[in-house]
Structure 1
Amino acid sequence: MSTASEAAGAETASSNNVDSPGLRGNMGVLELIFTVVAYNGPVVVFLGFIPVAVLLGNGVGTPVAFLVCGLIVAMLAVGLLTMSARLKKPGGFYALITAGLGRVAGLGSGFAALTCYFVALLSAYALGGIALDTAIVNIFHGPHVAWWVWAGLMLVVTGVLGHFNISFSSRVLTVFLACELLLMIAYDISVLAKGGAHGIGFDSFTPHQALSGSISIAFLFGMGLFGGFEATVIFRDEVRNPERTIPLATYGVVALLAGLYAVTAWCFVNSYGAVAVMDAVNKNLVNASTDSIKQYTGQFAYDAATVMLFTSSFALALAAHNITARYVFNLGADGILPRRFGQAHERHVSPHRASFALGVVALLVLAVFVIAKVPEGDLYARLAGLYSYAFVILLVLVALAIGVFLVRDRVHGKAVGPALASLVAFGVLCVTLVLATTNFTLLTGATGALKNVLIIAIWGITLAGGALALYLKRNRAEVYNSIGRQ
């Protein structure tokens, strides 16, 4: 198990990139924020997630649930930034969990993270294929084309962009995300300016509504909104002035996501009225958001939202591809995967080989889904739910790792507050994981044997990483010692 003193001793070498294969970039605060927020797909959340959260969670009180979840993630972010500032290593959760809980847990978390973001990537391809076909048929009156054709096109484009430096992808993501934010802000302003259905009400923030419905389900859904916030740490070597950029971007991401989704959920509730919104999502869950957009913001915004469901899915896929490729890169640099995957491009200083390998694997997996004739709607929903479950596992592990590391740290001191915040977050996240397990069918739509297979698979992959670490400890000590970018 790594100790805080060992991590501190390695800090200088790591910060000077002595042991880093050399990813480089020049992203600033806004570029990093936009890159991470794009991973959340704000329009995807608005059109497909918020109505579900209202229906199955705590109804009119959903905005409060989103804000509370944002507070929990902010508490975790305090510890994450404190710990990452002392380690100064790339690798994201993989590196942090290794430093806090040891190499066995670290490699297990690396496998879990790789699976988590790869599943998110596949779900984005599926949703993007469906969304683009819908836009072409309904908006542009073009021919129907199978979803997997468009998904394959998305895969090729993300692979090409992933070959180049992250700064290029960040510019693409910035454009797409700016359009998404403009749409959601325009919707929010329209609802507020028109007074909603029956005047703007604040029922969502009353104790009665905030504590109504299924608080546990609302909290489970709410935590899923903040997926990918760790990417600010993953891109450490690819931002300018990381000591300033990463903290500002991390807090900026959490604040933007919590505020944006809470305000939009509140406006969505007001667009139907606190009394009628539950009937609206019960009767027309799929189109509740788009119908509200059309009513308050007009036909053009409605058509734009239909198109942006695709662009948001593409931005999500590109961000997921970039994050997953960096996990492949870091595992390759440590010798867990073939070391060639951990080598940066000489000119673009990008994880080009990891990106290409990821694209090939994603193509093969999508081909299996197509050959097996898995319904695209079921495919997206189940993959998205599986991602959310794996993400909660990662959050539990990293919260514990941060708390343990900071409590154990005797070199720097003054970490009591961040350590306590992380351990409180750990307790809350443990409850969330139990809820996610007991409500796995609701989360993924999987029942019976398939439900058990999926749960066993995600835990099995995590445990397989730990078992591989034990094998390496006995048979390949030099690889074992490098786990977690140590």
Structure 2
Amino acid sequence: MSTTTNESSSLPTGSARLRGKLGVLSISLMIIAGAAPLCVVGGPMVLGLSLGNGAGLPATYLMTLVVLLLFVVGFTTMTPFVGSAGAFYSYVHAGLGRAAGIGTGYLAILSYTCIYVGLYVLLGIGADNLVRSYGGPSLPWFVWAAAALAIISFLGYRNVEVSGKVLGILLAAEVGLVLVLNAWIIAGGGGPEGLSHGAFSIGEMFSGAPGVALIFAVLSFIGIEAAAVFRDEARDPVRTVRRATIVSVTVVGVFYAITSWAAISGIGDSLVVATATADPDAFLPSLAQQYLGRVGADLVTPLFVTSTFAAALTWHNILARYTLSLSSRDLLPRRLAAVHPRHASPHRGSLAVMVVTAGIIALGVTIGLDPMSQLYTWTSGLGSVGYIILLVLTCSAVLAFFRRESHGTSIVGAVVAPLLALAGLLVILAVMLLNLDLLAGDSAAVAIAIIVLLIGAGVLGPVVATLRPSAAQEH
């Protein structure tokens, strides 16, 4: 008897399903856009250089890439046996049971919403800087954030292929600029100290604060499982999800490793930490101006804004689909489990995401939170820790699933890869928790609140499973 969970049996009877014909390229573009490459280069990467291990950062990116590829091997090995688009929720449900799956779904919604809100802070501030640089008026960051939220929600309301085309254009522009900068630095033999050797030095790898560098490296990869969220709209759910995930993670990891190496080479091993620390915001524009001239520097700010916009659009689509998936299982209001008859999109989920996001931003503005040091730092900190917990739970689910029955899969994909990934992810989670004050903006109260909210989301699983025995039942 086949043990594969088929498409029709993975959701309660009568649930709405998305349909589409997305290929590997389309889904890969959405995943990579969600990682916001230019935002990472101008944000977490600079902080990794400044607060982490400096010239050893490229090696940290490569080590993180190895852990995540091991995760992806186990994750995609299980994909043929998980026939629904709930991503982490569906995998944990299949591997660890209904209560754990429900808790994972709520944890994912909480973590992703926090990451999504943080993007609007960056987008609002970036848009204001861009407009003022061209002589325009200075407006509060939340005005630009609200405008972007309206546009992104409109795109999210429509067919996902429309979003994919927009993302493809924006992604090509931002990645193109960074690749040109990388090529110029490397082809010219680097800066005053030549090409960096820090990536090949054990001493540099573990210099400074390697644990902090690891945190910022992991933050750069958030969103790697997005392919599974779009499985109902994929041309071939199993093959497309597997290939798109592997391609995306590899491309993103190699891109960050090479870009950080090029940036370090352009500044110099002995100077890069001081340069990144002195003015983090100016690091990328200054580097672009040094090697590409005024044109390069002038392109950084607008492309930073479009990069953030692209990332927010991807996360909006992910959240809308999570909302559809959970509401289809009666874990969120059932009215949200609807697919638009013409656009074939989770339109009600998209509107719900917009309302919740607007509410959180409005609350932050009303109580006077500083956009960067408080609202962005706190939401990103919570989202980041929650995301790693999701990866740990999913790895555990893969191991538990194949322990019950091998399903004819290889021991590498079913046991070795997820086990090694789990070990690496537990180390990353421990480092994050030990440095939670950094992610919480040096506030003990916020750090405690983050832990309480994450635990609360997970505890909702067994609570809802007990109180609502008919919810999230697989048929």
TM-score, L = length of structure 2 = 0.95
Q: In percent, how many aligned pairs have the same letter?
A: 33
Q: Output the CA distance in 1 between the equivalents of 2:370 and 2:406.
A: 54
Label 1:9 to 1:195 Cα distance change in 2 as closer, same or farther (>3 A).
closer
> Residue 390 of structure 2: which of 387, 394, 418 is its match?
394
Q: Which ranges in structure 1 are unaligned for 5 or more consecutive residues? A: none
Q: Which ranges in structure 2 are unaligned for 5 or more consecutive residues? A: none
> Residue 313 of structure 1: which of 308, 311, 314 is its match?
308
> Residue 242 of structure 2: which of 244, 247, 254 is its match?
247
Aligned to 1:354: 349
- Residue 135 of structure 2 corresponds to residue 155 of structure 1: no
- Residue 431 of structure 2 corresponds to residue 435 of structure 1: yes
Aligned to 2:291: 296
Q: Secondary structure at 1:479's aligned position in 2?
A: coil
Q: Output the CA distance in 1 between the equivalents of 2:409 and 2:262.
A: 44
Label 1:365 to 1:203 Cα distance change in 2 as closer, same or farther (>3 A).
closer
- Residue 182 of structure 2 corresponds to residue 182 of structure 1: no
Q: Output the CA distance in 2 between the equivalents of 1:365 and 1:16.
A: 31
Aligned to 1:470: 466
Contact 1:108 1:466 in 2 (8 A): yes
Where does 1:332-481 land on structure 2 (aligned, <5 Å)? 332-378=327-373, 379-472=375-468, 477-481=469-473
CA displacement at 1:478 relative to structure 2 = 2.4
CA displacement at 1:415 relative to structure 2 = 4.0
Q: Secondary structure at 2:152's aligned position in 1?
A: helix
Aligned to 2:139: 145
Q: Which amino acid aligns with 1:284?
A: D
Where does 1:87-236 land on structure 2 (aligned, <5 Å)? 87-138=82-133, 140-198=134-192, 199-236=194-231
Q: Which amino acid aligns with 1:128?
A: L
Which is worse superposed, 91-100 or 430-439? 430-439
Deviations 1:260-302 (A, max 9, x none): 0000000111111111112212222221222111111121121
Contact 1:106 1:466 in 2 (8 A): no
Q: Output the CA distance in 1 between the equivalents of 2:15 and 2:169.
A: 31
Contact 2:4 2:81 in 1 (8 A): no
CA displacement at 1:16 relative to structure 2 = 11
CA displacement at 1:218 relative to structure 2 = 2.0
Q: Which amino acid aligns with 1:368?
A: L
Label 1:465 to 1:32 Cα distance change in 2 as closer, same or farther (>3 A).
same
Q: CA RMSD in A?
A: 1.9
> Residue 268 of structure 1: which of 263, 267, 276 is its match?
263
Q: Secondary structure at 1:322's aligned position in 2?
A: helix
CA displacement at 1:252 relative to structure 2 = 0.6
Which is worse superposed, 348-357 or 85-94? 85-94
Contact 1:22 1:344 in 2 (8 A): yes
Q: Secondary structure at 2:280's aligned position in 1?
A: coil
Q: Secondary structure at 1:298's aligned position in 2?
A: helix
Aligned to 1:322: 317
Q: Which amino acid aligns with 2:334?
A: R
Label 1:341 to 1:206 Cα distance change in 2 as closer, same or farther (>3 A).
same
CA displacement at 1:224 relative to structure 2 = 1.9
CA displacement at 1:413 relative to structure 2 = 4.3
Deviations 1:6-59 (A, max 9, x none): x92542634899865220122211111110111111111011111110122221
Q: Secondary structure at 2:3's aligned position in 1?
A: helix
Q: Which amino acid aligns with 1:420?
A: V
- Residue 46 of structure 2 corresponds to residue 51 of structure 1: yes
Q: Output the CA distance in 2 between the equivalents of 1:470 and 1:356.
A: 29
CA displacement at 1:373 relative to structure 2 = 1.5
Aligned to 1:36: 31
Contact 2:24 2:241 in 1 (8 A): yes
Deviations 1:314-368 (A, max 9, x none): 1111111110111110011111112221111111111001111111111111111
Q: Output the CA distance in 1 between the equivalents of 2:340 and 2:191.
A: 55
Q: Output the CA distance in 2 between the equivalents of 1:36 and 1:26.
A: 16
Label 1:16 to 1:399 Cα distance change in 2 as closer, same or farther (>3 A).
closer
Contact 1:35 1:170 in 2 (8 A): yes
Q: Output the CA distance in 2 between the equivalents of 1:52 and 1:392.
A: 19
Contact 2:50 2:274 in 1 (8 A): no
Contact 1:406 1:416 in 2 (8 A): no
Q: Which amino acid aligns with 2:185?
A: V
Deviations 1:389-412 (A, max 9, x none): 111111111111111112222443
Contact 1:404 1:419 in 2 (8 A): no
Deviations 1:411-444 (A, max 9, x none): 4343454322112211221122121112111123
Q: Output the CA distance in 2 between the equivalents of 1:308 and 1:438.
A: 34
* Aligned residue-pair number: 473
Contact 2:55 2:196 in 1 (8 A): no
